[in-house]
Structure 1
């Protein structure tokens, strides 16, 4: 199987099976994980809607009626606060696409999350607990943005949930120079 055939097979597998890890794909196609990483990069460059999720690579095309919004939040780094925030979002029915912080030197720094379910939040929190990395929001005193996707109703529910937690940053609270 050449590279083009393997990439077609990767797309077929992801469309049929959902998320698969790089290791699972490497084992299936008898190549290294690095070859799979390169294949995914090539597929993305061709416009394939591939996501990296906590559960592996996934093929994802937004359903009709899905919109994006950016929700500004601010809170401390306590794991339970992070869990409440992310759980409130997925429980409202949105996908937490990413987290973005605005760094004074580097500009926008983002991290892909793609959290859709309580299980995704649990996996994210388990990785955070491992302690090998810190939250991006630690660079900005807890201020960060989440890009979310969902129906207009789900996004409104997510805003309400964050507001109830007291972590939604309102426009009137944003300081302008």
Structure 2
């Protein structure tokens, strides 16, 4: 079907997520048709990710690592900021729950603006971050364009952790 491949090309070329609503308006079809088209593209093996901001094509040529961190809820902004400022994207947060096992929540932030929106939504919603389930201990899946960027991100996180430990020891 022609529309599906036009959607695929739009997603591949877009630098930002594309909302399903916008695709539906562009192609003059319902949102459900777009959801069906995306599902069929995925079945064909195309890596299309749904984020809260829309659909994103995942070219798959990035470096990914899962990193363990520990901090309080008030440090979420600083942690995410360090990652995106060094060229990374935070895909998710993973915590271990004593009853349910591993719980994963999508974050999908790669810019400072997205970090600010995420933290603002967290604060305004009145909910607690998943990391509170595990006393601040959690994992993040981080994506970077290359190994050099990933090394910069890991160095920034290590430096941040060491500075936090120093602050605690000086109290």
Q: What TM-score range do you get, normalising by the shorter chain?
A: 0.7 to 0.9
**Matched position secondary structure for 1:166:** helix
The CA deviation at 1:119 is 2.1
Unpaired stretches in structure 1, ≥5 consecutive residues: 169-177
Q: Structure 2 residue aligned with 1:12, among 3, 9, 14?
A: 9
Q: Post-superposition, which runs of at least 4 consecutive aligned residues in structure 1 deviate over 3 A?
A: none
Q: Indicate which of 69, 72, 82 corresponds to 1:73.
A: 69
Deviation at residue 57 of structure 1 after TM alignment: 1.0
Q: Which of 44, 60, 79 is equivalent to 1:85?
A: 79
- The corresponding residue for 2:142 is 148
Give 5+ residue unaligned stretches, structure 2. Answer: 164-171
Q: How does 1:24-173 map to 2 (within 5 A)?
A: 24-63=22-61, 66-78=62-74, 81-131=75-125, 133-150=127-144, 151-166=146-161
Q: Is the 8 A contact 1:67 1:152 kept in 2?
A: yes
1-side partners of 2:124 and 2:22: how far apart? 23
Gap change, CA 1:61 and 1:137, over 3 Å in 2: same
Which structure's residues are more often helix, by fraction?
Answer: 2
TM-score by length of 2: 0.80
Report the aligned-residue RMSD: 2.3
Structure 2 Cα separation of the partners of residues 76 and 165 of structure 1: 13
- TM-score relative to the length of structure 1: 0.77
Secondary structure of the 1:114 match is strand
Cα drift, residue 17 of structure 1: 3.0
Compared with structure 1, are the counterparts of its residues 135 and 15 closer, same or farther at alpha carbon in structure 2 (3 Å cutoff)?
A: same
Q: CA deviation at 1:72?
A: 0.3
